[in-house]
Amino acid sequence: MNYLPMTPEVHTRYVFLNISVWVSLFLFSLASCQKEVSYVPPNLTFRTDSGFVSHDTTLAIGERIMVGIEAQGEGVNITYLHIGWNNGEDQTVLDSGMNQPVLRYEIEITKTANEIETWNFLVMDRNHSFRNRSITLRKSASSQYGPILSYANILLGAQTNEDAGSFFSLGAGHRYFQEEAYQKQDSIDLIYYFDEYEATLSSPSEADAPALFGGPTGLANWTIKNETRYDTTAFAPTDFDLSGNDSLILAAYEPVNLKRKAKFILPGMVISFRDPKGNLGLILVKEVISGPGGQILMDIKIQQ
């Protein structure tokens, strides 16, 4: 059998074709040998010991429960926790990263005025595998509104005001200067200060307050730092004045909107808050005098 002589161009194409075929066969063989990796999702459970709720339940408006979760990855650390709240719309309560083998977290939940609300808990591990659990809370048909405690004409001074203290105890109903407040750390719930451009309500755990209240008794040296959270509302002063129980307080409460401070405070604003003990309340701002030496005048209503 006679073969035609192979030109350099044909020879080059022939060699390249053979190399391509062998590379394709190698890659196909390699892909066939590889197994798809699947990771086991982390374990996530609700705490069932005394004092914790671990299942769907019906609650009266304003009733408080504790929910605890425990999560552990399959040989890898837990790196992410998300807590969501749904009253017809998905909203975020907590979005937090971490890197630990076991996660334990507790949250106190206050039943809102919504007929149905769902709390969702999701954890993710280092492999990006995740697991979620949820608890649905329904409003009891026998719900009744509770009594409130009222404080009128509370005057707090800003950080350099020498006539009125900046610290307030909701439990005692008293105002304190910094040196006095240092001795009563466990009872201080509210702090007022004037930032560069804005009147601000805060609490001892808030991050910016220590820069304004320094010295030996300054917030940086406190060992107990209570946290109060705030949210602005659309309610009018007349709504606040007419409320005789905690119905308005509960109607204003949105757990996803609470922040560590209320900023840009102006007269006429009604501010919702949750104190360190879990009690809900409203603040009516009546007067604001700007500046570090200024002051705020307000009325407060809080659940008993």
Give the end of a domain, one of 81, 112, 139: 139
Contacts of 46 (CB under 8 A, 6+ apart): 52, 53, 54, 55, 67, 68, 69, 133, 135
CB 285 within 8 A of CB 268: yes
State whether 173 and 281 are in the same domain: yes
Give the end of a domain, one of 113, 139, 165: 139
State whether 274 and 180 are in the same domain: yes
- Place 12 in a pLDDT band, splitting at 50, 70 and 90: very low
pLDDT at 79 over 90: yes
Lowest mean pLDDT: which of 6-20, 75-89, 109-123, 264-278?
Answer: 6-20
For residues 147-165, average pLDDT: 97
State whether 265 and 215 are in the same domain: yes
Residue 250 forms part of a structural domain: yes
State whether 135 and 212 are in the same domain: no
Residue 285 forms part of a structural domain: yes
State whether 184 and 114 are in the same domain: no
State whether 129 and 194 are in the same domain: no
Residue 157 forms part of a structural domain: yes
Contacts of 7 (CB under 8 A, 6+ apart): none
Max intra-chain CA distance, the chain = 116
- pLDDT at residue number 70: 98
pLDDT at 214 over 80: yes
- pLDDT at residue number 168: 98
CB 165 within 8 A of CB 156: yes
DSSP state of 4: P
- pLDDT at residue number 196: 87
- Place 24 in a pLDDT band, splitting at 50, 70 and 90: low
State whether 48 and 68 are in the same domain: yes
Residue 174 forms part of a structural domain: yes
Tens-digit pLDDT profile for residues 87-144? 988 999 999 999 999 999 999 999 999 999 999 999 999 999 999 999 999 999 999 9
- pLDDT at residue number 14: 45
- The one-letter amino acid at 100: Q
Residue 5 forms part of a structural domain: no
φ/ψ (deg, to 5) at 191: -135, 140
What is the dihedral angle through the alpha carbons of 177, 183, 184, 185, rounded to the nearest 10 degrees?
100
C-alpha closest to that of 186 among 249, 115, 275, 270: 275
For residues 177-201, average pLDDT: 97
pLDDT at 71 over 90: yes
Full-model pTM: 0.80
- pLDDT at residue number 17: 43
CA distance 94 to 72: 19
pLDDT at 250 over 90: yes
State whether 286 and 172 are in the same domain: yes
State whether 96 and 169 are in the same domain: no
Interior angle at CA 276, CA 272 and CA 243, nearest 5? 35
CB 78 within 8 A of CB 72: yes
Report the mean per-residue pLDDT for the chain: 91
Lowest mean pLDDT: which of 29-38, 67-76, 120-129, 136-145?
Answer: 29-38
Residue 242 forms part of a structural domain: yes
State whether 77 and 197 are in the same domain: no
State whether 93 and 193 are in the same domain: no
Lowest mean pLDDT: which of 26-30, 157-161, 223-227?
Answer: 26-30
- Please report, for the domain that includes residue 84, its CATH number: 2.60.40.650
pLDDT at 1 over 90: no
Give the end of a domain, one of 92, 118, 139: 139
CA end-to-end span of the chain? 108
State whether 163 and 282 are in the same domain: yes
- pLDDT at residue number 81: 98
For residues 47-63, average pLDDT: 96
Give how many domains the chain has, as a whole number: 2
Range of the domain at 77: 43-139
Residue 2 forms part of a structural domain: no
For residues 237-264, average pLDDT: 95
